[in-house]
Amino acid sequence: MRSAQIRRETKETKIEVTLDLDGNGVYDVKTGIGFLDHMLEQLSRHSLMDLTVKAVGDLHIDFHHTTEDTGIAIGEAVAQALGDRRGIVRYGAASIPMDETLTRVSLDVSNRPYLIWKVNFTKPKLGEMDTELFKEWFQAFAQAAGITLHVENAYGENNHHIVESCYKGLARALRQAIEIDPRAASSVPSTKGVLGGSL
């Protein structure tokens, strides 16, 4: 079972995450931030990871801590569920169209975290959520999961479509990368024999 449970508690947030990499895209997400819930539901549905997230945060201040810490907790769950990453395909990529928008996501489940974020927004908020917080979520997720993650919005006008295509792109690329490779199911996909550290 490639699954994990994470509990993260700070003075700012209290988060519980349950995750199954080999699920059916079943989700139960409650962060207190409606738009973030919607995006995490997309992540689960399109990656086919089963995902439960319960988050209580200092939303009376702003949404920053809850957004970032949710990214950390989900990333930690992915890393824990992957273990030594033996047998995975490792690389994944997706180009996601949403009406007028196209976003490309490429990733390496390398245990070397890095984020390239080429996404711009024309509005400061989506609903009540600051659009600048989406980069914070992706950064936190990539760091905690140990993923090299490149997200590039090629074009688009509708900010909702832009964000949603980023999460769907992550989901589809991640689904591809974490699949077990039937030709190399018992080996770590690296000439070093381990993933992480120097190139």
The answer for residues whose C-beta is within 8 angstroms of residue 91's C-beta and 6 or more apart is 106, 107, 108, 109, 176, 177
Rounded Cα–Cα distance for residues 71 and 63 (Å): 12
Q: Tell me, what's the pLDDT at 192?
A: 66
The whole model's pTM is what? 0.94
Tell me the pLDDT tens digit for each residue of 122-178. Answer: 999 998 899 999 999 999 999 999 999 999 999 999 999 999 999 999 999 999 999
Find the helix or strand (DSSP H, E) in which 145 lies: helix 133-145
Rounded Cα–Cα distance for residues 24 and 49 (Å): 6
Q: Tell me, what's the pLDDT at 63?
A: 97
Residue type, 197: G
Rounded Cα–Cα distance for residues 153 and 151 (Å): 7
Mean pLDDT value across the chain: 94
Q: What is the DSSP string of 113-170?
A: -EEEEE---SSSEETTEETTHHHHHHHHHHHHHT-EEEEEEEE-S-HHHHHHHHHHHH
Q: Tell me, what's the pLDDT at 38?
A: 96
Yes or no: say if 148 and 114 are a contact pair by the CB < 8 Å rule: yes
- pLDDT bracket for residue 183 (50, 70, 90): confident
Tell me the pLDDT tens digit for each residue of 54-70. Answer: 999 999 999 999 999 99
Give the domain ranges of the chain.
Answer: 3-178
First to last CA, the chain: 29
Fold of 3-178: Ribosomal Protein S5; domain 2 (3.30.230)
Yes or no: say if 30 and 53 are a contact pair by the CB < 8 Å rule: yes
Token pair for 125? 């908020």
3 state SS of 135:
helix
Q: Is pLDDT at 199 greater than 70 in this prediction?
A: no
